[in-house]
């Protein structure tokens, strides 16, 4: 069951104008959707050639948001649109025309998570308690603007970043475009869904314990939790200043690298970035290398694969991805780190830091609508899903407690355990599932996250697409390296990506046609047996994977009808029954089915049939293929 609340999403109808003509791309040869699955470099090249403008890109993304965020699969990924987006894009177009291009992000629309301070828009951090909160730009947002990016809008997030399924009191439940009945991960699930659905080429999130990597894993994206201190958290509504980091999620490693290059670096207001003092700042695009895996020694962290039945499919997919890394020249070693669990499990400081961190942040914002976590709880200004966790963090929240001091000390122990193991075994990185299982259905608990290791050690970890489950859900594989090994991880991910091409777009957000979602397809199937006729009229909506059907049987008495169904049809032979439409004695049936991803593929490739099981044809010989128009 999806849980949604009304969206606080301004409507800027005047911003949505006719889309520009676009150069044809192989993946989109029969549509005019210039931004669909387009990379930053694709868009930059189009602007350089003059075939598209930044204003036109804004319009194209707005058209996709209009088609799919509230309609179709209703992803609910975007909370606010930037009312100045078109004006900002027009100014950048003028700069380009005058011969000034700031860099690879010049004129590129991007989305930021709603905990990033962004001038001109509220920064609610997903909570109704902060609906009117206005701040200046966060450090990374300033850097994005300096790089020429257009802030298109802000994405929904798990309220106060305090969870991994992306539900909030101000934005409701965000849905996963690979299956809108499942969650998109969190807490940066809105940013992940937006990038997966081509609402932007890249979006920014934050990661306190998996909140960039988990949405990346369950939405077929690349996401890096950078070394703590490589990027600034100034201006991001805090969950835990010790563990919070910010960074991008992207469909390609190159886009990820471009986003990182634009936003990392020292910030006098964030003491963690002193890590970079007297060090060379990594250059991610320059580090990309299709031989980066060659000779690397990767330790497969066996204890992170999960032992439950629901973990096994994901484990097989991740092992296949690791085999692909081996094929690129990496040496693969199964490892177990002695004492790892005891070192890591007691090192998280989120429970202790949220309360004081949030209070300090709000105290620095004039006219903040609330001033403390306690006020949010006391006034019930939060989604019920957050109640237990926020009350626990209010009770435990203290930087003076012995438990907090012990957890801080344990973080040093945990990091030393991991780094020493890497050094002793001459390992370049550890590798394991980002999540041991696929995204859970909305409303069900999400289990299987391996987020803690990077979060409590401060070491960088990158989630990459590993593959898909049988029902079409993405699985991610994670690489963890030494502090400031971020560029090496990105380079290894690039080598893996170029060899495997793991990116596959979700079916619920296809390319637009004439600026609109594709129209539903009508399918008519007629099965005959003598005088008996079974006629099915079906309408397939690809944006919801919904198959509405109306089936009638004539020419035989009702008592002769056993079952009406949809069966597989392989090479002209009847296969398994996959959907039951009606039972004995039924001459007419109607309803709507939500197809699984495999069923969708079978429908579109002509491998499903309408079948009538009757007294005369009890084995299902009375059937007709469900052939979709070409």
Q: Which residues are catalytic?
A: 113, 187, 211
Contact 372, 358 (CB under 8 A): yes
**3-state percent breakdown (helix, strand, coil) of the chain, nearest 5:** 35, 25, 45
9 vs 97: CA distance, rounded Å: 32
552 vs 207: CA distance, rounded Å: 53
161 vs 238: CA distance, rounded Å: 8
489 vs 249: CA distance, rounded Å: 15
561 vs 584: CA distance, rounded Å: 6
Sheet containing 561-570: give its strands across. Answer: 573-582, 561-570, 608-614, 622-625
Contact 152, 111 (CB under 8 A): yes
Contact 626, 502 (CB under 8 A): no
Give the CB-side neighbour count of residue 76, counting CA atoms within 13 A: 27
C-alpha 103 chain-centroid distance:
26
DSSP string, 43-93: HHHHHHHTS--HHHHHHHHHHHHHHHTSSTT----EEEE-TTHHHHHHHHH
Nearest to 489 by CA among 478, 498, 501: 478
C-alpha 107 chain-centroid distance:
23
Nearest to 511 by CA among 72, 40, 70: 72
Helix pair angle (402-424, 350-363), 10° resolution = 110
With a CB cutoff of 8 Å and minimum separation 6, the contacts of 490 are 224, 253, 256, 257, 260, 284, 287, 288, 462
Give the CB-side neighbour count of residue 234, counting CA atoms within 13 A: 22
């Amino acid at each position: 069951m999806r849980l949604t609340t009304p969206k606080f999403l301004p409507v800027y109808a005047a911003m949505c104008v006719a889309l520009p003509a676009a150069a044809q791309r192989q993946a989109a040869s029969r549509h005019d959707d210039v931004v669909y699955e387009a990379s930053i470099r694709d868009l930059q090249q189009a602007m350089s050639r003059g075939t598209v403008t930044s204003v036109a890109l804004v319009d194209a993304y707005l058209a996709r948001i209009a088609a799919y965020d509230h309609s179709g699969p209703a992803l609910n990924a975007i909370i606010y649109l930037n009312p100045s987006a078109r004006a900002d894009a027009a100014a950048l177009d003028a700069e380009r025309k005058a011969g000034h291009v700031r860099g690879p992000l010049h004129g590129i629309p991007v989305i930021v998570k709603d905990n990033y301070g962004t001038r001109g828009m509220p920064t609610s951090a997903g909570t109704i308690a902060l609906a009117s909160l206005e701040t200046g730009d966060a450090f990374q947002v300033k850097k994005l603007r300096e790089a020429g990016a257009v802030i298109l809008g802000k994405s929904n997030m798990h309220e106060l970043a305090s969870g991994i399924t992306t539900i909030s009191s101000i934005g409701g439940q965000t849905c996963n475009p690979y299956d809108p009945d499942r969650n998109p991960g969190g807490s940066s699930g809105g940013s992940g869904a937006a990038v997966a659905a081509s609402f932007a080429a890249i979006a920014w999130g934050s990661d306190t314990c998996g909140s960039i990597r988990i949405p990346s894993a369950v939405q077929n994206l690349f996401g890096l939790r950078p070394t703590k201190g490589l990027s600034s958290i100034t201006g991001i509504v805090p969950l835990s200043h010790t563990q919070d980091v910010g960074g991008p999620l992207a469909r390609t490693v190159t886009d990820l690298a471009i986003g990182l290059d634009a936003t990392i670096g020292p910030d006098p207001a964030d003491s963690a970035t002193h890590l970079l003092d007297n060090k060379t700042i990594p250059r991610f695009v320059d580090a990309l290398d299709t031989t980066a895996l060659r000779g690397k020694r990767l330790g497969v962290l066996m204890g992170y694969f999960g032992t439950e039945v629901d973990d096994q499919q994901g484990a097989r997919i991740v092992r296949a991805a690791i085999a692909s890394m081996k094929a690129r020249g990496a040496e693969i070693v199964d490892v177990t780190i002695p004492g790892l669990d005891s070192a890591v499990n007691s090192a998280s400081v989120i429970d202790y830091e949220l309360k004081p961190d949030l209070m300090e942040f709000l105290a620095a914002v004039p006219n903040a609508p609330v001033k403390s976590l306690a006020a949010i709880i006391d006034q019930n200004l939060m989604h019920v899903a957050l109640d237990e966790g926020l009350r626990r963090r209010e009770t435990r929240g203290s930087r003076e407690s012995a438990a907090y001091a012990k957890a801080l000390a344990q973080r040093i122990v945990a990091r030393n355990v991991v780094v020493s193991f890497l050094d002793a075994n001459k390992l370049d990185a550890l590798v394991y599932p980002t999540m041991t299982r696929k995204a859970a259905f909305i409303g069900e608990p999400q289990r299987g996250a391996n987020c803690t290791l990077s979060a409590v050690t401060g070491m960088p970890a990158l989630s990459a697409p590993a593959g898909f489950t049988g029902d079409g859900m993405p699985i991610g594989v994670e690489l963890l390296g030494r502090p400031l090994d971020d560029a090496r991880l990105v380079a290894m991910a690039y080598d893996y990506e170029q060899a495997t091409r793991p990116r596959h777009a979700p079916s619920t957000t296809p390319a637009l046609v004439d600026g609109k979602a594709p129209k539903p397809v009508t399918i008519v199937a007629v099965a005959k047996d003598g005088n008996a006729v079974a006629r099915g009229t079906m309408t397939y909506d690809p944006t919801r994977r919904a198959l509405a059907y109306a089936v009638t049987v004539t020419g035989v008495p009702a008592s002769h009808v056993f079952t009406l169904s949809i069966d597989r049809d392989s090479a002209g032979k009847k296969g398994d029954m996959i959907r039951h439409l009606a039972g004995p004695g039924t001459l007419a049936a109607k309803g709507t089915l939500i197809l699984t991803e495999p069923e969708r593929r079978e429908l579109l490739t002509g491998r499903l049939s309408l079948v009538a099981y009757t007294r005369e044809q009890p084995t299902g010989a009375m059937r007709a293929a469900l052939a979709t128009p070409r």
